[in-house]
Amino acid sequence: MNALRGIALQVGATFVFTVMSALVRIVSDRIPTGEVVFARSFFALFPLLALLAFRGEISAAVRTAHPVGHIMRGTIGVFAMASSFSALALIPLADVTAISFTAPLLTVALAALMLGEKVHVYRWSAVFVGLIGVVIMLWPHLGGGFASGHGSLGALIALFSAACTAGAMIQVRRLTSSETTAAIVFYFQALAAVAGLATAAWGWVLPSAGDAVMLVSIGFLGGVGQILLTESYRSAPASVVAPFTYSAMIWSLLLGFVLFREVPPLLVLVGASVVIAAGLFVIWREQRLGIERAAAVEATPPTGPAA
């Protein structure tokens, strides 16, 4: 395990994903969302398959015992992706990023409700505080804070995307009991590409040369970001690298200002800070619980003939 390498890869992944989101925002007023979903998923397969081939994991990627589980994860994930791209067309990049931080908190709640995981008062308190932060973030949008008049719709779509992301993570947890990481990643990208392609009947457009380059780049960056993210968790414990996911807020603020001259309302930044603090507390609490469980196992006296 190499903590510095894991952190660097995590920060790199968040930067790549934020650049990808910025490109989605650029083409969103000219390219239908379904077409962008297809490009994001189809062209992401190329770097992913190259890595799997290099590691000799192609067979592991296509082997599955639960195709229905992958279809469920893919369906929820496609809704999350499509709604996130739709939100990027309506509200600033930093705002969509901030609202997306709601997903880990919603995952905690869904894990308790759907997986039966024990969630004690500390993490429930963090979820409650995080939801207060969400209300703060949404306030400027629900009050019609943007001249376009689409602020409230975009914020609600971004929140729906975060909820779908949490649902997808719950399905991923179910799949990890029997499926390899390679299979989970491969089938999601493949199913999302098929879902995006199916929207062609609703009116795709022929992109210009510049838009075509951006669409390919969106997919390629998505694949590279997924590789960096996976490698970060291979390199260091989740409790070490997960907090650096929030560096996406820094990148989105910088890119939003440089590319679009976007400055999010103060309340969005305040709410994002509350949500990030709540998310960091959940990560810290998970780490403490892991340490306590390990200590309890070590303290358990051996039983049986060997004792």
pTM of the model: 0.88
- Say if CB 6 and CB 171 are below 8 A apart: no
Structural domain contains residue 242: yes
Structural domain contains residue 262: yes
Range of the domain at 60: 3-298
- Say if CB 38 and CB 202 are below 8 A apart: no
Rounded average pLDDT over 86-93:
94
Structural domain contains residue 22: yes
In the chain, pLDDT over 90 holds for what percent of residues?
61
- Say if CB 48 and CB 182 are below 8 A apart: no
- Say if CB 196 and CB 35 are below 8 A apart: yes
Number of domains forming the structure of the chain? 1
Structural domain contains residue 140: yes
Structural domain contains residue 209: yes
**Interior/surface letters 83-121, b for 16+ CB within 10 angstroms, e for the rest:** bbbbbbbbbbbbbbbbbbbbbbbbbbbbbbeeeeeebee
- Say if CB 235 and CB 9 are below 8 A apart: yes
Structural domain contains residue 103: yes
Structural domain contains residue 187: yes
Gap between the Cα atoms of 233 and 226, Å rounded: 11
For 20-24, 67-71, 219-223, 294-298, which range has the lowest pLDDT when averaged over its residues?
294-298
pLDDT at 251 over 80: yes
**Confidence at 157, pLDDT banded by 50, 70, 90:** very high
Structural domain contains residue 307: no
pLDDT at 50 over 80: yes
For 118-152, write each residue's pLDDT tens digit.
878 888 898 899 999 998 998 887 764 444 456 78
